[in-house]
Amino acid sequence: MNSRRLVIAVDGPAASGKGTIAKALARHYGLPHMDTGMLYRSAALALWRFGGDPGEEFEAAGAAREIGNIDPDDPELRSETIGELASRVSAYPAVRQILKERQEEFAGQPSGAVLDGRDIGTVIYPTATSKLFVTASPEVRAERRFGELQARGANAHYDEVLADIRARDQRDSDRAAAPLVQAEDADLLDTSNLGIDEAVAEAIRLVDARIG
């Protein structure tokens, strides 16, 4: 059944470790990687810069159409404000539709690919060779995000970070359009009690088992 082209879908909530795992898998299997959250963040940033209204779907869709080349090192893209706004605009079907094409194209390239996000295994590429649903408890994810913020010198409070994580989980999971949900044929990888190296090793083991 498996063709030699390998597509790996890595989905999961904020700060679950899915980005780190997806990058490590891409390196291990020699595949290109796309962090699809960056598309939503870029749409959010474009909207923010226009001073657009996040309550209006057509304005958010207009911002999604404006996305050009993405600079993954732009610190504004990684900010909590933009992550939160990305979560809001990502609930609009029009925004998701505009960003879907870029993701399908990336996943469909002859080399194969690794994509991480919320709906890769369920909506964007349901025929992926291997699907991982990476998660961790909200407390552990909040600890990680809090640590990252502190390392960046941001003035953060653990309780607020935890509340933000919970709010984001709820919004991403409860939306009608492509909600965050584990695909039926995805392997669950709970990283709550795993270090990065252990989580990556487990991810490789799960993907290898799917490749057969």
Q: Classify residue 195 as exposed, middle or buried by CB count within 10 Å of its CB (0-12, 13-18, 19+).
A: exposed
Scan residues 152-171 and list those touching ligand DC (CB under 6 A).
168
* Vertex 14 angle, CA 166 and 31, to 5°: 165
Helix/strand/coil for 9: strand
Size of the site for ligand DC (CB under 6 A): 14
CB-wise, 86 or 142, nearer to ligand DC?
86
Smallest gap from Cβ 129 to ligand DC, in A, equals 18
Scan residues 173-212 and list those touching ligand DC (CB under 6 A).
none
Q: Judged by CB under 6 A, which of 172, 183, 202, 207 binds ligand DC?
A: 172
Residues in the chain: 212
Chain Cα centroid distance, residue 18 = 7
User: Of the listed pieces 24-32, 113-121, 129-137, 203-211, which binds ligand DC according to CB under 6 A?
Assistant: 113-121
> DSSP alpha helices (H): ranges in the chain?
18-29, 37-50, 57-66, 80-89, 93-107, 138-151, 158-174, 196-211
- For 201, residues 6+ apart whose C-beta sits below 8 A from its C-beta are none
The mark string for 26-55 relative to ligand DC (x by CB under 6 A, - otherwise) is: ----------xx--xx--------------
Q: Judged by CB under 6 A, which of 25, 42, 79, 118 binds ligand DC?
A: 118
Q: Judged by CB under 6 A, which of 86, 107, 128, 142 binds ligand DC?
A: 86
Site residues (vs ligand DC, CB under 6 A): 14, 36-37, 40-41, 83, 86-87, 90, 117-119, 168, 172
